[in-house]
Amino acid sequence: MSFDFAFAWEILPDLLRGAAVTLEVMAAGFLLALAGGLALALGRRSPQTVTRLACAAFIEFMRNTPLLVQLYFLFFVLPLGGITLPPITTGILALGLNYSAFLSEVYRSGIESVPRGQWEAARALDLPARDTWRRIVLPQAIPPMLPVLGNYLIGMFKDTPLLAVITVPEMMQAAKGVAGMTYRYNEPYTLLAALFLALSLPASLLFRTLETRLRG
C-alpha cells in the first residue's frame, strides 16, 4: 500500500469543497440547536402543562432515537406528506433538532445553577419576566455552559458524515465520490480523517482555553 501525494493533492479541492459544506451545515445546525435548546429549556418551565409535556416528549424522542433514523424520516417520510426540502436544509434541520434536545439539558443545568436569590432580587424590583431572563438569569447561566457547548459542537461536527446518506455533498460524500470514481481508497479517506482532525482540534483547544480562562 502506498500513499500517492500527487493524487492526494489533486483530489484535495474536491474534499475542501465538501469541508465548506460541512462547516456550513454545522454552523447553521448549531445555531438552530442553540435557539431550539433555549426554547425547549424555557418551555419545560412553562406554567402551561401542555407546553411542558410537549417539550419533554420532544426532548425524550430526540434523545432516544438514532440521528440516522431521524435523518431518514425527514428525508424520505416528510415528502410523502407533501413537504420536500433540499438535502442540505434537511440535514441542518435534523442536526439542529437533534442537538437542541441535548442542549436544552445543558441550558437547564445552567439555569438551575443561578441562585434563587437572583430571581428574588429581580422579583423584588418588579422586573418583568422577559427582563429577568434576558438581563439577570441567562447572562449568569450561559458562561459556565460554554465548555459543555464546545463538546457538543465537536460532537455535531463528527456527526456530519451521516448526512452523506441523504446526499448532502459534505466531506464524507466528497471522499466517497472520489473513491467510487477512481477505486482508490487510501488517499481520499486518509485525507478525510486528516481534515476532520485539522478542523476539530483547534476547536477543542479553543474551548479548553476558554474553560481555563473562565475558571481562572
Partner 1 sequence: MADARTPILRLANVEKRYGDTLILDRLSLEVPAGQRLAIIGPSGSGKSTILRLIKGLEPFQAGAIEVAGEPLRPPRSASWFARRPAARSHMVGMVFQHFNLFPHMTALGNVAEALARVLGLTRRDAEARARDLLAQVGLGGKEASYPRELSGGQQQRVAIARALAMRPQVMLFDEVTSALDPELVGEVLGVIRTLSRESGMTMLLVTHEMGFAREIADRVLFMEKGRIVEDAAPSQLFTAPQSERTRAFLRAVLER
Binding site for partner 1 (CB under 8 A): 42, 45-47, 115, 117-121, 123-129, 131-132, 135-136, 139-140
Tell me the residue type at 144. Answer: P
Shortest approach of partner 1 to residue 210 CB, angstroms? 17
175 contacts 192 by C-beta, under 8 angstroms:
yes
Q: Which is nearer to partner 1, 64 or 126 (CB)?
A: 126
Shortest approach of partner 1 to residue 112 CB, angstroms? 12
Q: Of the candidates 42, 45, 75, which has an alpha carbon nearest to the alpha carbon of residue 165?
A: 75
Shortest approach of partner 1 to residue 134 CB, angstroms? 9
Q: Of the candidates 93, 104, 29, 27, which has an alpha carbon nearest to the alpha carbon of residue 63?
A: 104
Shortest approach of partner 1 to residue 10 CB, angstroms? 53
- The SS3 call for residue 102 is helix
Q: Which residue has the cell 440547536?
A: 33
Neighbours of 50 (CB within 10 A): 8
Q: Which is nearer to partner 1, 142 or 165 (CB)?
A: 142
Q: Which is nearer to partner 1, 47 or 82 (CB)?
A: 47
Q: Which is nearer to partner 1, 135 or 208 (CB)?
A: 135
